[in-house]
Amino acid sequence: MNPLAMEEFDALQERHSYLNEQRNDVAASRDNLLHIIKDLDSTMERVFKEAFDDVAAAFEKIFALLFPGGTGRLRLEDENDLLGTGVIVEAS
């Protein structure tokens, strides 16, 4: 029998516990970051939509003043993807 086997086993068990705690910390940090990203995306979508609506309304008014009888409008390419959509400018 190896006289150092118990010492090696205890050291490995301690190392395993330490690494397991580290893994759990990393997993918890990842979950927290994903939650923060989701909150930020939601906030950015809301703020963008509010700002876009304000700008679109002002664009229509200013366009009518600059081009009497004309109409101008801003609209989103994809209202379901506010963070990745483009803006379409319509003028006539």
- HEC string for the chain: CCCCHHHHHHHHHHHHHHHHHHHHHHHHHHHHHHHHHHHHHHHHHHHHHHHHHHHHHHHHHHHHHHCCCCCEEEEECCCCCCCCCCEEEEEC
Q: State the pLDDT at residue 1.
A: 72
pTM greater than 0.75: no
The band of 2, judged by pLDDT with boundaries at 50, 70 and 90, is confident
- Model pLDDT for residues 24-72, shown as the tens digit of each residue: 999 999 999 999 999 999 999 999 999 999 999 999 999 999 999 999 9
Q: For 3-17, what is the mean pLDDT? A: 92
pLDDT at 70: 93
